[in-house]
Amino acid sequence: MTKNWYAWHDDYGDPDSPLSRRLAEVRRRVADALDQAPPGPLRAISLCAGQGRDLIPVLAEHPRGSDVTARLVELDARNTEVARSAVASAGLPTVEVVLGDAARTDAYADLAPADLVLVCGVFGNIPEADIRATVGHCAALCVTGGTVVWTRHRRDPDLVPTICDWFAAAGFEQVAVSEPADGTGVGVHRLRTAPRPLPAGVTMFAFDR
């Protein structure tokens, strides 16, 4: 890692920052997915979870939060420490924060396919070919009817429409995608096919900075 992904979270302190606006939208979409999930136990995974701000506060407040077994995978030890503290404070015993490489399929082998998959802060930091490959792997990480929430900036070149096409080709239907004028890109897709087998020992993506 060359970027300071711990300091990257500082922009959350500015409520008017694009990152804060994106976070609010992601949380809203996560809550919507929980609202629409079937009754019973649920599973969630978060790739490159950072400090867990996308998921932990939602699970702490949502009526379905206690139904969710979740795994948040993050490579920066400082961020995992913050996330684990947040999990403990929220009283979420079925939420696990893992220090490790979120790009490796083995990190999710015993939990996939999941009802909710978060791929936030990833697609803006990896090569285009890796984005496409990761979208394909989302069809193995996600259960039929499950939801993927993902992010990608809408700056030129705007790859969001192409990413939506890749999700469609992988068996997903589009639930929502923010507009370029929103200033931040959040997408939501739901798997409509049977999940693909999750290959072992595969690296889905590599950060380009």
d(CA 103, CA 32): 26
Laid out side by side, the sheet with 114-119 consists of 95-99, 68-74, 42-47, 114-119, 142-151, 186-191, 172-177
- The enclosing H or E element of 83 equals helix 77-90
pLDDT digits (tens, 9 = 90+) for 24-57: 999 999 999 999 999 999 999 999 999 999 999 9
Percentage with pLDDT > 90 across the chain: 85
Give the orientation angle of helix 160-169 with respect to helix 128-141, to 10 degrees.
Answer: 40
Question: In whole angstroms, what is the distance from residue 22 CA to residue 3 CA?
Answer: 20
- End-to-end Cα, the chain, rounded Å: 7
The model's pTM is 0.96
Judge whether residue 76 has pLDDT over 80.
yes
Residues 59, 87 contacting (CB under 8 angstroms) = no
CA 101/CA 157 separation, integer angstroms: 28
Contact 56, 87 (CB under 8 A): yes
pLDDT in tens, 111-158: 999 999 999 999 999 999 999 999 999 999 999 999 999 999 998 889
Residue 209 has pLDDT above 80, yes or no: no
